[in-house]
Amino acid sequence: MGLVPFILKKLLRMAALLIALCILSFWLVSYSPLDPVQAYVGADMTRVSSEQSEMIAEYWGLNKPPLERFLHWGSAVLHGDLGTSMIFRRPVAEVIGERFMASLALMSTAWLLSGVLGFALGAVAGMKQGTWADRLIKWYCFTLASTPAFWLGLLLVMVFAVWLGWFPVGLGVPAGKLADDVTLANRIYHLILPALTLSILGVANVALHTRQKLVDVLASDYILFARARGEKGLQLFWRHGLRNVALPAVTIQFASISELIGGTVLAEQVFSYPGLGQATVQAGLRSDVPLLLGIVIFSALLVFVGNLAADIIYRVVDPRIRKGESA
Partner 1 sequence: MPTQTKSKPILEVEELSISFAQYTSGLRQSSLKVIADLSVSVCPGEIVAVVGSSGSGKSLLAHAILGILPGNAAISGSIRFAGQKLTAEYQEAIRGREIALIPQSVNYLDPLMQVGKQVRNAAKIARGSSPDRAAARKIQREAFARYNLAPEVERLLPFQLSGGMARRVLVATALVSSARLVIADEPTPGLDDAAVRETLGCFRELADQGRGVLLITHDIETALEIADRIAVFYAGTTVEVAPVQDFSGGGEALRHPYTKALWRSLPKNDFAPIPGFQPHPNALPEGCLFQPRCPMATPECTAGRPEMRAVREGMVRCIHAS
Q: How far is the CB of 228 from partner 1 (least distance, A)?
A: 4
> DSSP of 145-199, one letter per residue?
HTS-HHHHHHHHIIIIIIIS--S-SS-SS-TT--GGG--HHHHHHHHHHHHHHHH
What is the spatial distance between Cα 85 and Cα 93, in angstroms, rounded to a whole number? 9
Per CB under 8 A, 89 contacts partner 1? no
Nearer to partner 1, 242 or 309 (CB): 242
What is the spatial distance between Cα 268 and Cα 310, in angstroms, rounded to a whole number? 26
CA Rg, the chain, in Å?
24
Nearer to partner 1, 177 or 239 (CB): 239
Q: How far is CA 230 from the centre of its chain?
A: 44
DSSP three-state, residue 303: helix
Q: Which of 273, 244, 248, 277 is nearest to 262 (CA)?
A: 277
- On the CB side of 218, CA atoms within 13 Å amount to 19
Residue from the set 240, 299, 302, 303 that interacts with partner 1 by CB under 8 A = 240
Q: How far is the CB of 188 from partner 1 (least distance, A)?
A: 38
* DSSP code, position 240: I
Residues 242-281, one symbol each (x = binds partner 1 by CB under 8 A, - = not), give -xx--x----------------------------------
Stretch that binds partner 1, among 140-148, 155-163, 180-188, 240-248 (CB under 8 A): 240-248
- Tell which positions 35-54 bind partner 1, by CB under 8 A: none
Per CB under 8 A, 135 contacts partner 1? no
Per CB under 8 A, 79 contacts partner 1? no
Return the H-helix or E-strand segment holding 230.
Answer: none
The CA-based dihedral angle spanning residues 300, 302, 305, 311, taken in that order and rounded to the nearest 10 degrees: -80
Instruction: Give the type of residue at 214.
Output: L
Q: How far is the CB of 227 from partner 1 (least distance, A)?
A: 5
Nearer to partner 1, 29 or 245 (CB): 245
- Tell which positions 211-230 bind partner 1, by CB under 8 A: 220-222, 224-230
Nearer to partner 1, 142 or 225 (CB): 225
Nearer to partner 1, 59 or 222 (CB): 222
Per CB under 8 A, 239 contacts partner 1? yes
What is the spatial distance between Cα 274 and Cα 170, in angstroms, rounded to a whole number? 10
Per CB under 8 A, 128 contacts partner 1? no
Q: How far is the CB of 215 from partner 1 (least distance, A)?
A: 13
Number of residues that bind partner 1 (CB under 8 A): 23
Per CB under 8 A, 323 contacts partner 1? yes
What is the spatial distance between Cα 117 and Cα 135, in angstroms, rounded to a whole number? 17
* DSSP code, position 179: G
- Binding residues for partner 1, rule: CB under 8 A, are 220-222, 224-232, 239-240, 243-244, 247, 318-320, 323-324, 327
